[in-house]
Amino acid sequence: MAMGRKRRGGRGLVKLGKKTDVAHPLNYKDAEHLKKFITPQGQIQGRRRTGLCAQTQRKLKNEIKRARQVGLLPFVG
């Protein structure tokens, strides 16, 4: 290892996620679009799998929970 270079722990560079398409925003009424982000067991997929940024992933979580309350999507069972 050369002088001046130090190895640091951690995950490295932060990977920025993609924003959802403006033409197709997240909406709890659009259950078909939200089903893409849910596993067959009914769980919400993580950010690494969906490829969304943190802000959009939080919006996705809230929209899925709203759709579950209305009865458009299943709960985790």
Per-residue pLDDT reduced to its tens digit, 3-57: 665 656 655 444 445 555 555 789 999 999 999 999 999 899 999 888 888 888 9
Taking Cα atoms as reference points, which of 33, 41, 19, 40 lies closest to residue 64? 33
Q: Which is more confident, 8 or 62?
A: 62
Give the CATH class of 17-77: few secondary structures
Model pLDDT, residue 13: 45
pTM above the 0.95 mark?
Answer: no
pLDDT of residue 45: 92
Residue 19's pLDDT is 57
pLDDT, residue 51, reads 86
> What is the C-alpha to C-alpha distance for residues 70 and 21, in angstroms, rounded to an integer?
24
